[in-house]
């Protein structure tokens, strides 16, 4: 038996989706600018939607902000997932992912500011960057590529390094994002037990093209 094709979204569904996306975008901008204490009225004004529409999509401002952060982390994580899909070596998967994360800062500055304002909380989030990084680190250990005794500590080490890198790139817009990302990645790989030469080799290999956003 063949299933019936899914019906296209109705006009009402499309309007609801536009309203939800407008609210999420407004919340993302406020979070990126470091203004989480705005009112729901300010959010709906920025989104250009009616105040009453807010509660059709979110129970509270906190729920909206949580959804906005989750969307940022998932978008960033999905981009990296696509970029490393062709690699088999878990150490190279980790290296490419970290190297590209720094480079993406120049393409997604608003998303990066959300991540920076969230700080270390992004490392305990169940979506986006942290679970993928933990998976890649664990795979590197299983393959004998990393010498790590505590996976969670390794995740926090990598996450702290990433936040530091992103903050540096945010603070210095003229800095060479590629060179700094590669230097930080090489240092992390050495912290994970790789030799200086192995780390330098991984961080000098060609990268996939920057995604078109």
Domain boundaries, the chain: 12-58, 67-202
Residue 71 binned pLDDT confidence (cut-offs 50, 70, 90):
very high
Q: What is the pTM of this model?
A: 0.85
Residue 124 binned pLDDT confidence (cut-offs 50, 70, 90):
confident
67-202 fold: Tetracycline Repressor; domain 2 (1.10.357)
**Pick the residue with more confidence: 44 or 13?**
44
Given a cut of 50, whether residue 39 has pLDDT beyond it is yes
Given a cut of 70, whether residue 7 has pLDDT beyond it is no
DSSP for residue 213: -
pLDDT for position 21: 94
pLDDT for position 1: 45
Q: For domain 12-58, give its CATH number from 1.10.10, 3.40.50, 3.30.70, 1.10.287.
A: 1.10.10
Q: Other CB atoms closer than 10 Å to residue 172's CB: what's the count?
A: 11
DSSP for residue 189: H
pLDDT for position 151: 96
pLDDT for position 195: 96
Given a cut of 70, whether residue 2 has pLDDT beyond it is no
From the list 120, 102, 121, the residue with the least C-alpha distance to 112 is 102
Q: What is the pLDDT of residues 157-188, one digit of tens each?
A: 999 999 999 999 999 999 999 999 999 999 99
Lowest mean pLDDT among 55-59, 125-129, 153-157, 158-162: 125-129
d(C-alpha 129, C-alpha 144), whole Å? 23
If you average pLDDT over residues 24-41, what whole number do you get?
94
If you average pLDDT over residues 78-96, what whole number do you get?
93
Angle at 83 between CA 176 and CA 133, to 5 degrees: 85
Given a cut of 70, whether residue 13 has pLDDT beyond it is no
Given a cut of 90, whether residue 193 has pLDDT beyond it is yes
């Amino acid at each position: 038996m063949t299933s019936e094709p899914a019906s296209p979204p109705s006009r009402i569904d499309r309007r609801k989706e536009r309203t939800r996306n407008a609210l999420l975008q407004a919340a993302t901008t406020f979070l990126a600018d470091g203004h989480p204490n705005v009112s729901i009225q300010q959010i709906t004004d920025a989104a250009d939607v009616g105040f009453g529409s807010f509660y059709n999509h979110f129970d509270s401002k906190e729920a909206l902000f949580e959804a906005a952060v989750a969307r940022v982390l998932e978008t960033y994580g999905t981009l990296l997932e696509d970029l490393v899909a062709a690699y088999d070596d878990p150490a190279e998967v980790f290296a490419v992912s970290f190297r590209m994360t720094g480079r993406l800062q120049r393409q997604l500055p608003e998303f990066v500011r959300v991540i920076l304002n969230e700080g270390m909380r992004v490392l305990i989030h169940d979506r986006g960057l942290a679970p993928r990084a933990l998976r890649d680190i664990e795979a590197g250990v299983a393959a004998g590529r990393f010498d790590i005794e505590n996976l969670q500590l390794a995740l926090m080490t990598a996450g702290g390094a990433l936040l530091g890198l992103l903050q540096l790139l945010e603070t210095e817009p003229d800095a060479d994002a590629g060179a700094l990302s590669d230097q930080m990645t090489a240092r992390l790989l050495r912290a994970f037990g790789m030799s200086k030469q192995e780390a330098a080799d991984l961080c000098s290999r060609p990268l996939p093209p920057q995604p078109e956003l």
